[in-house]
Amino acid sequence: MIDMLSLTKEERKVILFLIAVTLVGIGADFLAKKYSSVKALACPSEDILKADLNKADKEALMGAPGIGDKLSQRILEYQKQNGNFSSLEDLKNIKGITDNRYKKLKELFFVK
């Protein structure tokens, strides 16, 4: 098996260089893992899952379950006509927002 390793001087240098680089990489990766820490990033007053309804665009509205293209358009039109939402209860005035849907949306949006 050792006989099969007939390497020229240049090939030996290249292989040693590649192995050295790989070893440095493995060491750096290991140290980064070992000395990584868990940091508390913030203490949010709001649930991070919730978004501000007054700032939500069409894409953000459509990301919520049960809100499609038409309903998101209706919400934005309502906001355009009546100004910012003063409370989440205002959503109930929009056609298509049933009690069931409102319960789900309450978990996803807030109004400041």
Partner 1 sequence: MKRPLTVLSLIFCLGIISANTIRVPFAAVYSLSWTLLSLGILSHKKGLSFNIFLLGLMFLLGGALQSNSRTLPKCHISRYAYYKNNNLYCIRGLVESACLMKNNRTSFIFSTREIQLDSLRYNCCGNILVYLKGEKNFSYGDELILRGNLCRPYRFGGSRRGSYRDYLYRQGIFSIMQAQTIRVLGRGKAGVLKRFSLWSKEKMEALLFKYLSNLSAGILDAMVLGEKRNIPAIVYNSMIKSGTVHILVVSGFNVGVVAFMIILFLKLIRCTKRARFYIAVPLVIFYCLITGASTPVVRATVMALVFMFGLFIKREPDIYNALSVAALFILGANPAQLFDTGFQLSFISVISIVCLYPKIRSFLRIDALNNKYARYFIDSCLVSFSAWLGTAGFIAYYFKIFSPITVFANLFIVPLATLITLCGFSLIMLGLILPALAHPFASSCELLVTFLLGINTFLVKLPGAYLYLP
Residues that bind partner 1 (CB under 8 A): 1-7, 9, 11-13, 15-16, 19-20, 22-23, 26-27, 29-30, 32-34, 36-44, 47-51, 59-60, 62-65, 104, 107-108
DSSP SS3 for 80: helix
What are the tokens at 73?
């358009």
* β partners of residue 52: 110
Q: For partner 1, give the closer residue by CB, 10 or 95.
A: 10
Contact 44, 52 (CB under 8 A): no
Q: Is 19 left (phi over 0), alpha (psi -120 to 50) or beta?
A: alpha
* Nearest approach, Cβ of residue 32 and partner 1 (Å): 7
Q: For partner 1, give the closer residue by CB, 64 or 91.
A: 64
Q: For partner 1, give the closer residue by CB, 27 or 96.
A: 27
- Per residue in 20-54, is it b (16+ CB within 10 Å) or e — as a string? eeeeeeeeeeeeeeeeeeeeeeeeeeeeeeebebe
Q: For partner 1, give the closer residue by CB, 41 or 81.
A: 41
* Nearest approach, Cβ of residue 69 and partner 1 (Å): 14
* Nearest approach, Cβ of residue 14 and partner 1 (Å): 11
* Nearest approach, Cβ of residue 30 and partner 1 (Å): 5
